[in-house]
Amino acid sequence: MPPPLSEFLYTNLSISYSKTVSIASLILGLICAASYLRWRKRIASYPPGPPPDPILGNARQLVKIEHQERAFAEWERAYGDVNYLSVFNKSILILNSFSSARDLLEKRGAIYSSRPKLVMLCDMMGWGDILVHLQGGPKFRKHRKIIQDRFSPRALEKYAALQRQEAYKALLDIGNSPDDILMHLKRFVCGVVLNITYGHKVESITDPLVVNGDKATSNTVNIGGPGSLLVDLIPILKHWPTWMPFSDFKKHAVYTRALVDDLMNVPYNWVKSRMASGTARQCIAVELLEIMNNQTGPYRESETIDEEDIKRITGVLYGAATDTTGSTLTTFLLCMVKNPEVFKKAQEEIDRVIGNDRLVDYDDQVSLPYFAAVLREVLRWGCPVPLGVPHRLIEEDNYRGYVVPGGTTILANAWAMTRNEAMYPSPNKFDPERFFGPEKMASEAYQQVEAVFGFGRRICPGRFFAEANIWMLMTNMIATMDIGKAVDEKGREIDVSVEYVGSFVRHLKSFKCRVGYRSERARALVEQANLLHN
């Protein structure tokens, strides 16, 4: 007797369902296996690097790293000088050698000179549309040309008088209150940039423009390395409400954006009001406003300058110059404190060449080769922006037989390049002798220190101005001051530790030192210079 219909249907449908589930599971497993094999094959075609996890990529390794530049340099020992990483679906290429950076960022600059989309910095904090972050195109070329024209080696002479004036004031401030030397160095850096850019004279670091600018830049650089934040990897998070949990990043961005807006707008509007009243001093902002109003010069027609261009060009001069230059000056001071034999040799050179009847001036540069070596070593040893500003590859490329996907973010590890043991023996030692002498100044090692300024079309356009600026103050500090370790109440020297903070721009933690006029003659020279120039 046949089974009842219900039993028949139940048995056969159960078997059919079971077979369907099994077949579906098999198909799904095959798809997953095929996808995994394709993923492994694709990964194998990329440059070597630490093994990634499926989906997450190398996110687990990156979140554990405090100093990325050092970790990437360690990876070079295991995987070579070019390393590939992935974070979720984002590709990252680390260049740990000068040769690889030159190959890609300079020789192939046409496809390696774009910028990645840095959501936190550009969209949320308001740093978009400045030269540092602009994609290639007419606006990028316009901004770059305007800045290059004003900071080329030939253009520097017109700033020399102002740089002397600010350096002399810094020397006077240091001599009068040496315990506040770090504040005086900051005032010097801000004073030069604000004076040249807006015609604004800075008397102290309590100046409102300095206070706001310092807050804007410090809040920006202390968030982490560019592109390392979760919102940069998952851009939709920029819409995360501030009232939701885990919204500290959004609150920080909102607060910083207000500071950045003030940095761009307040000094610009101040210059406009001074122009209207006829009291504006000649400066870059005034020059650009005159070009905008008259539409004269090389920026006509499609290259017309508008107010937003001027705000962004002048704003980036302050934002980019003050932080990195300040870092370099404090590194110089630390190196002089910790290396008294270097300070003494530099001082002896200046005494021999200049004497003690005048201060050092730009005409003396070629006559001070040892100080040139000191400055080069300060840049190498300090490396203020260890990973530079990221580049972006606009289309797929092939390098050394490996595939580099289009859209890859490129990080040039300047810190690793300037710590290359083959190029710089005992790289952690501060040693200007490695650059002292005609042959060494013409060496590849000397040239590779340029890595601290970036590469190719994205190299810092203000680098000549920045070096001239710190050269004037550093040489005259050596000429007029004695610098050494501070002493405690028992007269014992206080050792200084080397501790950098920050990830995008490195800054030394505050430290104590001993600074003062080396003689009454030095004091008189500084005071006389201030009477003549200030």
Hey, where are the domains in the chain? Answer: 45-533
3-state secondary structure 45-81: CCCCCCCCECCCECHHHHHCCCCHHHHHHHHHHHHCC
Q: What pLDDT score does 520 carry?
A: 97
d(CA 480, CA 483): 10
The angle subtended at Cα 302 by Cα 454 and Cα 273, nearest 5°, is: 80
d(CA 376, CA 446): 8
Q: What pLDDT score does 55 carry?
A: 85
Closest alpha carbon to 298 in 405, 142, 66: 142
DSSP 284-295: HHHHHHHHHHHT
Residue type present at position 384:
P
Closest alpha carbon to 150 in 19, 260, 41, 285: 285
Q: What pLDDT score does 338 carry?
A: 97
d(CA 420, CA 449): 11
Say which DSSP state 123 is in.
I
In this structure, whether the domain defined by 45-533 belongs to CATH 1.10.630.10 is answered with yes
At residue 354, what are phi and psi to the nearest 5 degrees? -95, -35
Q: Is 460 annotated as a binding residue?
A: yes
Euclidean distance between the first and the last CA atom of the chain, given in angstroms as a whole number: 117
Q: What pLDDT score does 39 carry?
A: 47
Q: Which helix (H) or strand (E) holds 478?
A: helix 463-480
pLDDT digits (tens, 9 = 90+) for 239-276: 989 888 888 999 999 999 999 999 999 999 999 999 99
Q: Would you call 428 exposed, middle or buried from its count of C-beta atoms within 10 A (0-12, 13-18, 19+)?
A: exposed
d(CA 128, CA 135): 10
Max CA separation in the chain (angstroms): 126
* pLDDT tens track, the chain, 534 positions: 556 655 654 555 555 545 555 555 555 554 554 444 444 545 569 999 999 988 889 888 887 787 899 999 999 999 999 999 998 888 999 999 999 999 999 999 999 999 998 899 899 999 988 999 998 888 999 999 999 999 999 999 999 999 999 999 999 999 999 999 999 999 999 999 999 999 999 999 999 999 999 999 888 877 766 556 788 878 889 998 988 888 899 999 999 999 999 999 999 999 999 999 999 999 999 999 999 888 655 554 345 889 999 999 999 998 888 889 999 999 999 999 999 999 999 999 999 999 999 999 999 999 999 999 999 999 999 999 999 999 999 999 999 999 999 999 999 999 999 999 999 999 999 999 999 999 988 899 999 999 999 999 999 999 999 999 999 999 999 999 999 999 988 888 999 889 888 668 888 998 999 999 999 999 999 999 999 887
Q: Would you call 62 exposed, middle or buried from its count of C-beta atoms within 10 A (0-12, 13-18, 19+)?
A: middle
Q: What pLDDT score does 471 carry?
A: 98
